[in-house]
């Protein structure tokens, strides 16, 4: 029996002044966050002679820098490789994370605290600490220089498990109890009761994991032997060789970020809608 609140904002006292202050603070924060990104694309779109110009609007526009960057690197193949890695990694992490978080939320069991600490504990292990043994293991499995070698070691994300656990802990227990009373199995409850309510969280987390995997740098660098198999490595070698040739460098950086921006803009609407809807329930 839950009261349907109109919104999380209590009724009354809708000061316009407060709202204006809110807008102002948010606008300034957004501006500070966006400027470097804007500058990256502005520089990349300037005509070759105008790179050092500080005019806020790049004019005349030119794609010359992009042409140059593509001519010098294997951009398309790198983007495809990186996309495959990112999507498969994120899906694996969502699935393992969901199952583990569900176990923590729906049962009390022996060693619960210890196992929870085992997940938190992965954060205590800097990547560099386990790098060598992992590298040896990968080479024994014959996964070096393969995309699978990048994906398999990262099929569980402690962040994913802990974030889902946080959300599931506040999941109304009476719903789980009621479903159990109906004699439904735990697997059925997970997919018919828990997952539908978690959808906004899963979507947000999924996007986060895709982006993390896309932007991952050191693990691919090790597995792919510094071949330019993924876009991060290609960009790094470009940075090294092209030194201060800012135009093409900004174009290559821009192309590296573009797919992620596109994904985010496309799914952002869905996520926001989901968040808003869940706020109204």
Q: Which of residues 137-176 bind another protein (CB under 8 A)?
A: 137, 153-156, 161-163, 166-167, 170, 173, 176
Query: What are the structure tokens assigned to 260, written together?
Result: 């992620």
Shortest gap between Cβ of 66 and another protein (angstroms)? 14
Angle subtended by helix axes 195-215 and 158-169, to nearest 10: 160
Site for another protein in 250-279 (CB under 8 A): 250, 252-254, 256-257, 260-261, 264, 268, 272, 275-276, 278-279
User: Residues 16, 71, 174, 182: which binds another protein (CB under 8 A)?
Assistant: 182
Site for another protein in 15-54 (CB under 8 A): 18-19, 21-23, 25-27, 29-30, 32-34, 36-37, 39-40, 43, 52, 54
Query: What are the structure tokens assigned to 99, written together?
Result: 């199952």
Shortest gap between Cβ of 33 and another protein (angstroms)? 5
Shortest gap between Cβ of 100 and another protein (angstroms)? 4
Closer Cβ to another protein, 62 or 259, answer by number = 259
Query: What are the structure tokens assigned to 6, written together?
Result: 């109109």
> Is residue 248 close enough to count as binding another protein by CB under 8 A?
no
Query: What are the structure tokens assigned to 209, written together?
Result: 């994991």
b/e string for 150-160 if b means 16 or more Cβ within 10 A? Answer: bbbbbeebbbb
> Is residue 199 close enough to count as binding another protein by CB under 8 A?
no
Shortest gap between Cβ of 126 and another protein (angstroms)? 6
> Is residue 231 close enough to count as binding another protein by CB under 8 A?
yes
> Is residue 191 close enough to count as binding another protein by CB under 8 A?
no
Query: What are the structure tokens assigned to 263, written together?
Result: 């994904």
> Is residue 55 close enough to count as binding another protein by CB under 8 A?
no
CA separation, residue 193 to residues 23, 95, 221, 228 (Å): 38, 16, 41, 44
b/e string for 269-281 if b means 16 or more Cβ within 10 A? Answer: eebeebeeeeeee
Q: What's the alpha-carbon Rg for the chain, to the nearest Å?
A: 23
């Amino acid at each position: 029996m839950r009261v349907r609140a109109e919104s999380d904002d209590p009724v009354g006292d809708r000061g316009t002044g407060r709202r204006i202050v809110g807008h102002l603070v948010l606008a300034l924060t957004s501006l500070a966050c966006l400027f470097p990104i804007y500058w990256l694309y502005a520089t990349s779109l300037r005509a070759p002679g105008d790179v050092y110009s500080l005019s806020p609007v790049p004019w005349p526009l030119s794609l010359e820098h992009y042409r140059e960057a593509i001519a010098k690197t294997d951009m398309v193949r790198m983007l495809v490789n990186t996309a495959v890695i990112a999507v498969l990694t994120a899906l694996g992490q969502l699935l393992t994370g969901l199952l583990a978080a569900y176990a923590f939320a729906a049962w009390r069991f022996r060693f619960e605290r210890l196992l929870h600490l085992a997940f938190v504990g992965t954060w205590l292990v800097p990547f560099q600490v386990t790098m060598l043994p992992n590298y040896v293991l990968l080479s024994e499995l014959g996964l070096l220089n393969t995309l699978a070698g990048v994906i398999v070691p990262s099929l569980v994300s402690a962040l994913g498990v802990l974030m889902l656990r946080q959300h599931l802990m506040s999941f109304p227990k009476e719903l789980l109890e009621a479903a159990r009373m109906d004699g439904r199995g735990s697997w059925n409850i997970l997919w018919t009761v828990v997952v539908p309510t978690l959808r906004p969280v899963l979507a947000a987390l999924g996007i986060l994991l895709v982006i993390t995997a896309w932007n991952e740098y050191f693990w691919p660098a090790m597995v792919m032997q510094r071949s330019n198999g993924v876009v991060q490595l290609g960009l790094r070698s470009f940075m090294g060789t092209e030194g201060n040739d800012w135009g093409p460098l900004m174009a290559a950086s821009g192309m590296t970020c573009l797919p992620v921006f596109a994904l985010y803009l496309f799914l952002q609407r869905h996520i926001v809608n989901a968040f808003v809807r869940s706020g109204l329930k």
